[in-house]
Amino acid sequence: MILVTGASGTVGREVVKALAGRGGRVRAGFRSRPQNLPSDVESVALDYEKPETIPPALAGVDTLFLLSNTVEPEKKVVDAAKRAGVHRIVKLSVFGAAEEAYSFARWHRAVEKHIEASGLAWTFLRPNGYMQNVVNYMAGTIRSQSAIYSSAGDSAISHVDVRDVGAVAARVLTGDGHESRAYEITGPTALRYDEIAAALSQVLGRAIRYVPVTHELAKQGAMKAGTPESYADALVDLNRHYAEGRGSRVTDTVRRLTGKDPIPFLQFAQEHAAQLR
């Protein structure tokens, strides 16, 4: 049995989709039940803030796909998984976690170390930033102002489509030879935000601008949108990391593990144009 946590989220949904129909039992854990759950996938309520939901979700599970938005609760889930007899954890981490050079990397690496110390078999998936963030967090200003804003400067970032992350996760969850491995996952190329804006302009048929902003303005914007200050600081720290040119590396992980080339940004933009018009 494979338990996918965060099954209603951006990544979790794609992992569940990629696992569906591959054989074996899959259970989707969620706080709010995802729509269009595949018929061969079980579902279970799972909320890290409600500890009583964790043991039932882990019952009979051999492999755990671990993810969360806030990261810190994952340690308690690791401990519960060990008590429940889980044999292996595949954790969704972040790009460059081993170097701990920015806040999200430090947060995730702390959980990775906890998993390593648990004695359970493990694999870490470390994707770079998601292409879907353009839709999730930039669609409003793309539609209303024909603009995208970031404090990442003019550095290139090897964003990856979460569908490719899901495909890699499914291969790791159902395959052999991945124990004690960490896979860094990127898209096919690194793009600057002005290049992303140019691709969006091509797809949407109107000029989309990239507007660089200061880290302080980026923090204020995130907090105005309801982001807690500690998380807004982490987002700014990520953009600082990107602005230093440390998110541009491209890996062959998607091709090597799935046999397919990763989705390029232009294709992503074409397939999501309706959400950006």
**Of 36, 101, 40, 107, nearest to 67 (Cα)?**
107
Phi then psi for residue 271, to 5 deg, are: -75, -15
- How many whole angstroms separate alpha carbon 205 and alpha carbon 195? 15
Q: What does the DSSP assignment read for 26-38?
A: EEEEESSPPTT--
Q: pLDDT tens for residues 64-114?
A: 999 998 898 999 999 999 999 999 999 999 999 999 999 999 999 999 999
Predicted model pTM: 0.96
pLDDT for the residue numbered 70: 83
Q: pLDDT tens for residues 131-163?
A: 999 999 999 999 999 999 999 999 999 999 999
Q: 34 falls in which pLDDT band (50, 70, 90)? A: low
Q: 23 falls in which pLDDT band (50, 70, 90)? A: confident
Asked if residue 189 has pLDDT above 90, the reply is yes
Asked if residue 122 has pLDDT above 90, the reply is yes
For the chain, list the domains and their CATH numbers: 2-128+162-185 (3.40.50.720), 132-158+188-249+264-275 (3.90.25.10)
Asked if residue 36 has pLDDT above 80, the reply is no
Asked if residue 21 has pLDDT above 80, the reply is no
Average pLDDT, the chain: 95
More confident residue, 23 or 214: 214
Asked if residue 35 has pLDDT above 70, the reply is no
Mean pLDDT score, 210-234: 95
Burial string for 112-140 (b: 16+ CB within 10 Å, else e) reads beebeebebebbbbbbbbbbbebbebbbe
Q: Who contacts 275 (Cβ-Cβ below 8 Å, separation ≥6)?
A: 135, 139
The residue count of the chain comes to: 277
Q: Who contacts 231 (Cβ-Cβ below 8 Å, separation ≥6)?
A: 222
